[in-house]
Every structure is written in C-alpha cells, then in structure tokens.
A and B are shown apart, each in its own frame.
Chain A
Amino acid sequence: MVDTPAIEITGLVRRFGRHDAVDGLSLRVQPGRCYGFFGRNGAGKTTTIKCLLNLLQPTSGTVRVFGLDPRRDEVAVKSRLSYVPDTVAFYPWMTVRGALDYAASFRPKWNQETERALLSQSRLDLGQKTRHLSKGQRTQLALVAAICPEPELLVLDEPTSGLDPIVRREFIQTVIGAYQDGDPGRRTVFVSTHLISEFEGLIDEFTILDNGREVLSLEADEARGRFEKPLEEIFVSTLSGLGARAVPA
C-alpha cells in the first residue's frame, strides 16, 4: 500500500538576503516512521522546519505535509501535527494547567490518560506559573501539550537540549513511547537534533544536512550495516570530510 508521505520536500530553497540557508533539499518521510534530521548548528534544520510549518515561505521548491500545501491548507495541516520548537515560549501569566487548557481548546482530541501519565512522570506542578518554570520544565510542558492531542506527525526541533540526563532518558523512553503507542501507522516523528546518540535506537531513517544541502540520506539499519558504526559517528565522520569507509563484506 502506497501511503501519502507524511512529509515530502522537493528542491527546497530558502534565501535570506544573499545567504542560502537551505539550498535544494529533498526528502520524504513515510508515515509511521521516526525520521532523524541531523546537521550542525546553522546547517538549515530550523529553517527547513519553519518552511514545513508555514512560518517561512520557501524561496523555491515545494513542501507537502500529508500531501497538502501548508500554505493553502493551513488549518488542515496544523490540526494534524504538533511542533515543539527549540525555544519554547508560553504566556507568562498562565499556569501549567492553564497552558494545557489553552492548547487543548484548539484541538479536537485530547488524551487525558496520556496527559496524566506524562504529567506525573515529569513532576510538573499544575498550579505553577509558566514563567517560573526552568527551561527544561518548559520543554517538558511543551512536549506534553504536543503529544496529548495525538497528532499524526510530531515535529521536534532540538527536543532534548536543556533537559537534565535523567529527564532526557525518560523522554526518549516514555515520551516517544507514549506517542507511538497509539496507532503505529499514523504516528510519525520528525526529529531535528544534533544530539544523535540519544536517538540512536529510535531513528528508522535519517538525512544529514550541511550548509543547506543534504549530504546523506539512509535507513538507519542500512547505514549501520554499511559503516559499522553508530549513527553519531557516521554523522561526525561524514561531516568531517574524512568520509566513512565501508567495511568490505
């Protein structure tokens, strides 16, 4: 069965002044996969994601989410995905409960069970104001708000930066687990990060981006088979220009 790709980017170019943040990127994410989007700082990852979400307009190229144009079918696209940015912002006067209520008001579905489980695990106090939360706690709150509506696509931009090691481990285990526990074929994760070792086991397929261009796109197992290294080392060696030499079979 050929499914509509959850994300399809073709020849994306985004220019800022004279600088090409993204220069001809193409990738495809099938539904139900966990897709890694790796690159160094400034490689163009956040710009690409913003083009996916219609926060930025592509200079040229096409972007399709669930086969729809994020610009033309704004609401249809946004109601099926959740986004957690690298800098999370909340209205400072809202409490944790208030922020979740606000997010829930815009979504058709909201899984109370998931919310309860994630809240108790993250130990967030419902009555605390968001402006008194630490950076990591804000990220956790954003994750809860992103997962409870059970979206078909979860877009994460540097989700573990700012989280302490325990929370990071729990995040990988439980948050992604909670997300994927629903309908596996309709739970796609698109995670952009440069902390690759944390997501090692979760990634099905990945693209490495450098200077706005894709350098490598492979399935994770295939990459590990070819290079006989974990993904992080593949990333480092690919970008260091040393080139990873495949071990002869």
Chain B
Amino acid sequence: MIAKEIRALVPVWAAAAAALWAVSLDGSPLAYAGAALYIIAVAAIGAFSVGHEYAYGTMGYALSLPVPRRRIWLTKLAVLLPMVAALAVLAAWRVDLDRGDRALGPALFWVPALAACSVAPWLTLLTRRPLAGTVFTVGLVGGSMALGEWIGIYRYGYTQEVDAFRVAFVCWSIGLLSAAGAVAGWRTFARLEAQDDRGADVQLLAFDAAVAPSAPVRRRHPLAALLLKELRLQQLAIILVAIYAAAGIVALLVAGAAPLAFSLLSVTTAFYIFVMPAVIGSLAMAEEHQFGTHDAQLLLPVTASRQWLVKTAVALGLTALFVVALPPLLIGFVPRHVVGGVGTLRLGPPTFMLALGGASICLYVSTVVRSAVSALLVALGVILAVIFFMMTAMTDILTTAYEAVHRLTADHPLHRLPTNPLFWAVPLVLFVALVWRCGLTNYRYADRSLPRVAGHALIAAAFLAACGAAAGAIMGMN
C-alpha cells in the first residue's frame, strides 16, 4: 500500500522539485516566485495525498480494502511527511531568502509544510477535489501571512517589532489551524462515504432550478452549449476571482483609513496574477479528463478544432477579464495619496503577457497531464522555465542580434526595451496561436505521445529564440 501511495505522489513531487530547482538557478525576480511556488507545491502534494484517490476514481476501491481506515490514513501521512520535508529542505537550500520574504525567516518553510500535511488533506476531503484543496490551503497560508503583516503594522507601525509579530502570528495561526486540520481531517476520513461522483461542485453555488417532470427538450446553438459548459467547468476559478474581488473591495474601502491595505492588496494581486492563469488553464482540460467526458466531447459533430477554440477562448477570455483587467481596475480606485506606499505594484505589459502566455501554457500542459493538480504544478514549472529561458538564452540571442545589426549602423549601447505595445502584442499573439495549435493536436487524439510533446517544446523554444533574434534586430535598426 505504501508503494501505491508513493507511486501516486511521485510525479507531482517530481514536478514540484524540478520547478523549485529551476526557479533558484538564477534571477532575482524569480526568487519571490520561488517562495510562492514552494507554498503552492507543498499544498498541492498535501492535497494530492488524499486527492489522487478522487482524481483517479479509486476512492471507493481504496476504502473497500480489508484495511482499517486508520492504517490507510497513517500510511498516507507516512508517505506525505517525508516528501514535504524533502521539499522544505530543497526550498530552504535553494530559494534565496534575502530577496524574498526575509521577515519570516525559516518559518517560511516549515509553516506551509505543516499546513500541507494537515489542512490540505482535510480541505481536499471536504471539497472532494484536490485542486480546490490546494488552492484553499495556499489561500489560508498566504492569507495568514498577509493578515499577520497587516495587524502587526496596525499595532506597531513600521517598526522592527512587526516582523517578530508577523512570525509569531503566522506560526500560531497556522499552527492552530494545522492542529485543527489534522484532527478534523482524520475524523472526516474515518467517516468518509465514497460517493461515486468525483466532487464536481464546490457546494457553494448550489442553486439549480427544479426540473419539471416532463420538461421538453431545450436546444441551444451548439456553440452556446459549448460555451456554457466551459464556463461551468471554470466554476472554481470564478469563485476564487469573486473572493479576490471581495477582498479587493474591502481593502479599497479601508484604504483611506489604513493605507496598509493597499500593500496587502498588491501582494495578493501579485500572487493572484501568478496563480490564476494556471488555475484557469488547468481547469479547462484536466477536469474533462477527470470526468471522463473528453471522449464523448470528441464524438460530437463539432470539429475538434472548434471545440478547442471555444475552450481556449473561454480560458483566455477569463484570464484577460479577471487577471489582466480586474487588478488594474481595483488599483485604479485606490486614492491617490495612498499610492506610493509600501510595495507599489507595477502592472505593465510584461504582467499581461505573462498572464496570457501563462494561461496558454497551462492549457497546453493540461491536455497532456491527467489531473488538475499535476497540471497546475507542471504548468507553473513550465512558466517559470519559460521566464528563465527568456531571461537568459533569449536575452543573449537578442543582444547578439542587436549587435549584429547595430555594427552595421551607429555605435549605441543596448537601451531598455521599447514600450511600443505592438512590439509586445505581436509575439504574444503568435505565441498564443502556436501553443494553441500544439494543444489542438493533443486535444484531438486520445493517446499521449512523448515525442509529440517534445516536438512541441522544441518548436516553442525555437519560436522564442526567433522572437529574441527578431527583437534584437528590430531594436538594432532603430
């Protein structure tokens, strides 16, 4: 049984470890992402330790084995703890704390780990979806950090004591939550009923109109039917957006009195922009795999490319609406005298590119990966890898191209990148289209083939390199 648990968790763990490793290789802006990635990763592993039974539909089988439930639960914990500990050690070693949240110190590593081992499995059992368990655990951990900072600054002002208070607050709050989670998780598991459904809804939005006993058929236009279905699949993402928006509005209302709220908002926004595209992308495809409806969808008399187009359009549309448009909207309402306080957030074109590009990448990953949680982690890892690639190899190519062209003309050093929106928009659109096309091939066929995915990765890398070269050349000619 231990072997089975390990086998189920290893892919996710490996993805997380690889992502963490990749993050720490270079780059100051990525270090903050490293901390965030670590929190997400451990939460994901914690959620998946129970969640894989839901993801693969094996919960009923697992509970029917002649093994006392206590032993099942303890086995899961026994496999989970070393994995989380290993990740914590890896993160502590590789993630550069000086640039990240230095205030929290080592607590940054063991607090999320604790939550991952207690709160994440419990929430997964409650929501019956590993992705929801992951996201809510991350929200709790991040929320307590933010709350700790807020209360601390409120009490002590901007002094040294804030940091100490924050650490204490986070440790205590998450510690208590973890204790509660551990107990509640075990009790929930002990009394768990293995219903056949795979936890489709977070049961918050359970308002469905009663259906008349002999209601006639109600046919919609096929595209409308697809659209509504896609939106329904994204229910979890919409819930998260609503939570974020509510928090944002509260922060805005309070921003006049407590300018600190704005800084919290910006931190949350940064996190939100980083994670939401990945969640949206994962939900779009991985859920279909989990429900088993992928095959049925492919058999509808609608071309696969059209279905994929609708799915992608909905995902990217939601990303554009909720990740690109919403945060600036919220921040735009902040009173002028507050802006410029702690941690101003610059939401320029790179952020939007990241969001849309990230969502596309996540969509692609979720066509290949079968469970939403794995898709989330792998996608985050891939996004970071792409950023890393862009910051290193692509920059080199860009510089080389620039110098090659520039040597022909005058002698100017490389300035900052142009701010012409077209300069950014064109490669982004092309990139999204390319990723879409690669994803379509995966969507269309039931078999996953490694050579095909590797081919896609090479094409993407080549495209990015070509973009770098073109960018350098263009800049050189100006």
Contacts and interface: CB of A to CB of B under 8 A. Distances in A.
Q: A–B direct touch, CB within 8 Å, in complex?
A: yes
Interface of A: 50, 53-57, 74-75, 78-79, 83, 85, 87, 89-93, 95-98, 100-102, 104-107, 110, 112, 115-116, 125-127, 131-132
B445 A56 contact: yes
B200 A131 contact: yes
Contact of B215 (A53, A91, A97, A106): A97
Interface string B269-299: 0000000000000000000000111011011
Contacts of B214: 116, 126
Contact of A89 (B201, B229, B296, B302): B296
A154 to B, nearest CB: 13
A115 B295 contact: no
Contacts of A98: 211
Contacts, number: 101
Contacts of A93: 200-201, 232
Nearest to B446: A55
Interface string B449-463: 000000000000000
8 contacts: A53-B298, A56-B446, A101-B218, A101-B219, A106-B301, A106-B302, A127-B211, A131-B196
A92 B218 CA distance: 19
Contact of A104 (B211, B219, B224, B304): B219
B304 to A, nearest CB: 7
Contacts of B198: 92, 131
Interface string B121-135: 000000000000000
Nearest to A78: B301
Interface string B212-243: 11111111111011000100110000000000
Contacts of B208: 95
A48 to B, nearest CB: 14
Interface residues of B, number: 40
Contacts of B221: 105
A135 B312 CA distance: 32
Nearest to B200: A92
Given A56-B446, A91-B291, A83 B217 contact: no
Nearest to A135: B196
Interface of B: 195-198, 200-201, 208, 210-222, 224-225, 229, 232-233, 291-293, 295-296, 298-304, 445-447
Contacts of B217: 100-101, 104, 110, 112, 115
A106 B292 contact: no
Contacts of A55: 295, 298-299, 445-446
Contacts of B295: 55, 85, 89
Nearest to B216: A112
B17 to A, nearest CB: 28
A77 B368 CA distance: 26
Contacts of B212: 126-127
Contacts of B197: 92, 131-132
Contacts of A106: 222, 225, 300-302
Given A90-B293, A91-B232, A131-B197, A105 B299 contact: no
B126 to A, nearest CB: 17
Contact of B304 (A74, A91, A126): A74
Nearest to B444: A54
A78 B299 contact: yes
Given A89-B295, A106-B301, A110-B217, A95 B222 contact: no
A53 B299 contact: yes
Nearest to B197: A131
Identify which of A56, A92, A116 gathers the most chain B CB atoms within 10 Å of its CB: A92
Contacts of A116: 214
A136 to B, nearest CB: 12
Given A50-B446, A78-B299, A83-B299, A105 B293 contact: no
Contact of B292 (A89, A96, A105, A110): A89
A102 B208 CA distance: 16
A112 B225 CA distance: 19
A107 B215 CA distance: 19
B291 A89 contact: yes
A97 B218 CA distance: 9
A93 B222 CA distance: 19
B211 A126 contact: yes
Contacts of B216: 112
Nearest to B201: A93
B445 A127 contact: no
A101 B224 CA distance: 12
A119 to B, nearest CB: 8
